[in-house]
Chains A and B, each alone.
Chain A
Amino acid sequence: MRNRQYNFLITLFTVLSSISCIDDARDFDRGKNVIGVDLDTIQFQPSINDLFEKVEIIPLETRKESIIESASRLKHQVYNDKHYILSVKQNKLFVFDRKGNFVKTIDKIGNGPGEYRMIYDFEISRFDGKLHLMTPYGRMLIYDSEGDKFIESFHLPDSIRAVHQFKILNEDIYVFNSDSEKSDLYFYSKSKNTIVSSLSVMPNFLTSTPFKYARTPFYYYKDSLRYFMGYDGTVFNINPQNYSLEKRYFLDFGKRNFMLENLPLNESVVYYFEHYKSISNKIATGFAIYFETDKYLISRYSYNNNHNYLFYNKSNKTLMTAFKLKEGIQLSLNFLEKDTLYSFIPVEFAHLYVNDKVVSQENFNRLQMLSSDSNMFIIKYVLK
């Protein structure tokens, strides 16, 4: 009983600390970092031409060894003109060229040096071009850029039992995100072989709920690394000097802002899913994805029981939001590379995301040639 009271007090303290952090986060430099979003007047349902220069279909070659079994839990990077696609469910990295021709898989399952049992994230470093594969139990395996030669590995301290994503902040510092440890962010120095800083940002009980990011809470913008809060959409810049979070953007939905203090504590994941469905009818929450380019800040959020995309044009400060486009299809934006967004779609769901009004006849024909046995295809959206 005493333990329960103790746990309750700890949880209450954690949430109150987070709430004070959120209030602080909302105390932005108004007009500079706060983006007001009035869902009563914003342009809903723009046309594909309002957003993108062109949309292309890239079928991924179908071979026994090239099949990506699920579109869930994928990570993607374009490097040296090739698509690197990590399937967390299959524990392997698929490599295709720009046209979708299969190149190879990088598959190191095993117990020897340079091998793993599970892989949760990857990145080809923009600093040295080396391929990094991260296991969820805190081991980083480093290979040459082709993934052929194992170079070295490092391991986080044993006190950190699980990490779920990582990014490379600079030549020495790796930032790990954990959804199940006391801290959310761990800054690891490779040269010192130690954690140099850690940060607690989000209440632990939110990490298994829909009130959080999908796939990753990080994104790069040029040389900056950003981190965002899934429940209210606050975006921070991660300072590479002192490892602090600096407020960068806050989407202010006014009366439709999500208030963490109204969320009941420590319920089941099923409860939070039902709660999410009921409140996302009238509250903007579930900020699952963020992208940023020189021109746009793009986010996917839940409102009106739909996953909507918000496009904020940074230069003329205009906003558009979309669940479905005028052309009658939904958007699916999963990965950004420069000014191009990519999505991976299984053939059976093609009709939801593509029709002959949004792609050229040549691209539409490519789609028509696919069958239910075909590998998934890429939709490539080039931003205006």
Chain B
Amino acid sequence: MKKTLSAILLSFIIFVANSSSTKAQSLPGSCPDGLVWDPDIFMCVTGDPAIITCDSGSSGYCFELRFDDENNLYCPWDCFWTGKANDYCNRFYAVLLNLCISLGSD
């Protein structure tokens, strides 16, 4: 039962992941008028964080979904900084994938 549920959940995740490619439309660094982009700290000098806008309409930083298992049972999927505007990791997928692994493991 657990395995069936796991398989259904994983299929859903693969479908969602494939159908909503989240490519960035704009590069980080577009600061409001009068402010300067500081590549050193990836933010405008006022202190506003750099935001990228994605095709899905979401916004976020430049992260990528990665597998990083350490202990066999802790959530191995997480979002990692890449600094590339075309990477966008939706934490929702990461949570779903971790749930899926919990269901699939013994």
A interface vs B, CB < 8 Å?
A: 70-74, 89, 111, 117-118, 120, 136-137, 139, 155, 158, 161-162, 164, 179-180, 207-210, 214-215, 268-274, 288, 306-307, 330, 332, 334, 343, 349, 352
Contact = CB atoms under 8 A, between A and B. Distances in A.
A118 B68 CA distance: 18
A32 B72 CA distance: 32
**What are the 10 closest A-B residue pairs judged by CB atoms, nearest first?**
A161-B83, A136-B81, A162-B83, A180-B82, A208-B66, A72-B74, A214-B70, A111-B47, A307-B72, A210-B67
A268 B39 CA distance: 30
B41 A137 contact: yes
Q: How large is the interface on B (under 10, 10 to 19, 20 to 34, 35 or more residues)?
A: 20 to 34
A139 B41 contact: yes
Contact of A208 (B10, B67, B69, B74): B67
Contacts of A306: 72
Given A72-B78, A118-B81, A349-B73, A269 B65 contact: yes
Contacts of B80: 136, 164, 179-180, 208
A261 B47 CA distance: 46
Contact of A162 (B47, B65, B81): B81
A111 B75 CA distance: 30
Interface of B: 10, 13-14, 17-18, 39-43, 47, 49, 62, 64-76, 78, 80-84, 87, 97
Contacts of B65: 208, 269
A122 to B, nearest CB: 16
B2 to A, nearest CB: 15
A133 B23 CA distance: 31
Contacts of B41: 111, 117, 137, 139
B75 A269 contact: no
Nearest to A277: B104
Contacts of B76: 72, 210
A161 B70 CA distance: 25
Given A72-B71, A111-B47, A268-B17, 11 more contacts: A72-B68, A117-B49, A120-B81, A136-B83, A158-B39, A158-B40, A161-B62, A180-B64, A332-B72, A343-B71, A349-B73
A269 B66 contact: yes
B14 A268 contact: yes
Contact of B71 (A71, A118, A268): A71
B17 A270 contact: yes
Nearest to B69: A214
A273 B39 CA distance: 34
25 contacts: A72-B71, A72-B74, A111-B43, A117-B42, A117-B49, A118-B81, A136-B80, A136-B81, A137-B41, A137-B81, A137-B83, A139-B40, A161-B84, A162-B81, A164-B81, A207-B66, A208-B67, A208-B80, A210-B67, A210-B76, A268-B18, A269-B66, A270-B10, A273-B97, A334-B71
A70 B69 CA distance: 13
B70 A215 contact: yes
B103 to A, nearest CB: 13
Contacts of B68: 72-73, 214-215
